[in-house]
Amino acid sequence: DVLLRMHSVGICGSDVHYWQHGRIGDFVVKDPMVLGHEASGTVIKVGSGVTHLKPGDRVAIEPGVPREMDEFCKTGRYNLSPTIFFCATPPDDGNLCRYYKHSASYCYKLPDNVTFEEGALIEPLSVGIHACKRAGVTLGSKVFVSGSGPIGLVNVLVAKMMGAAAVVITDLSASRLQKAKEVGADFTIQVKNETPQEIASKVKSLLGCMPEITVECTGVEACIQAGIYATRSGGTLVLVGLGPEMVTVPIVNAAVREVDIRGIFRYCNTWPVAIALLASKRINIKPLVTHRFPLEKALEAFETTKRGEGVKVMLKCDPTDHNP
């Protein structure tokens, strides 16, 4: 293990959901729990067996740590391990605090030209990397991203990075769609009260064809329906957003058109990729951060996220650091 002085911690929708509702699906908060799982910090002490890190190293923290070497770890899909430790998922404490202890293998050294804030953003960026890999985004792909929150935006960034020729994105919010344009979306659709079929039709007309790939980031039933209708026959729909446990979808439409529906659960093996992309300046994730608060104003930061203001709210946990 390593002991870290925390620096930057992003607030995620799941953090707000636990705060407000005390549960997400089967994960129920039964005891007081520290929130936060998008994080970076400085190593201040290392365990006796740790050789790749030393005090003073700046690191990004991967929040999911398998507790045992099971079949999922052996096949490289450790995110699916049923006994995984995950920051801020009950009963495991997160890292929105001044000091935090974490498995050294899941702390990744940041190059000098990658900031703490970028280090904390690797967690949401990883969702985009994992989703686009599962979707099979490649050179020339036409991609439909549903939902322009932080996760929709990282999927735009990553899809374009992986060679997508055109990306169209939908959302209710005009300001979020403007942010999507800034990070590389080619087309935006502000959803009013269209039917799922009408949304699919708009996606097709903007792209000039049906997209091979749809990345659904909202979890809303109507959006999943639109995702199925929009995806080209033989294409792939990846479900990233989590909504109600049961949803009604046109599954026969997907089946007879051979639309593959894939789920994703967090991510795996993404931190080294993300660090390489950030260090080489191939991806610019900085525009995602719109608000910053010191740890003392955590409540204000959470209220800001709850109201849906901006995109990504970042908390600064190190009072000695005066850099933006």
- Band (pLDDT 50/70/90 cuts) for residue 296 is very high
List the end-to-end C-alpha distance of the chain, in Å, as a whole number.
29
- pLDDT tens digit sequence for 182-209: 999 999 999 999 999 999 999 999 999 9
| pLDDT score, position 321 | 72
**CATH for the stretch 2-109+285-316:** 3.90.180.10
- Band (pLDDT 50/70/90 cuts) for residue 150 is very high
Residue 146 has pLDDT above 60, yes or no: yes
Q: What is the mean pLDDT of residues 284-300?
A: 96
Residue 43 has pLDDT above 50, yes or no: yes
| pLDDT score, position 322 | 58
| pLDDT score, position 319 | 78
Handedness of CA 299, 305, 310, 311 (dihedral sign): positive
| pLDDT score, position 32 | 96
What is the residue-averaged pLDDT of the chain?
96
CA distance 152 to 313: 16
Pairwise pLDDT comparison (236 vs 319), residue with the higher score: 236
Q: Which CATH number fits domain 129-263: 1.10.10.10, 3.40.50.620, 3.90.850.10, 3.40.50.720?
A: 3.40.50.720
* DSSP states along 155-211: HHHHHHHTT-SEEEEEES-HHHHHHHHHTT-SEEEE-SS--HHHHHHHHHHHHTS--
| pLDDT score, position 323 | 56
Q: What is the mean pLDDT of residues 263-268?
A: 98
- pLDDT tens digit sequence for 80-122: 999 999 999 999 999 999 999 999 999 999 999 999 999 999 9
| pLDDT score, position 145 | 98
- pLDDT tens digit sequence for 228-261: 999 999 999 999 999 999 999 999 999 999 999 9
| pLDDT score, position 318 | 85
Domain ranges across the chain: 2-109+285-316, 129-263
Q: What is the mean pLDDT of residues 42-65?
A: 97
8 Å CB contact between 182 and 110: no
CA distance 112 to 104: 19
Residue 324 has pLDDT above 50, yes or no: no
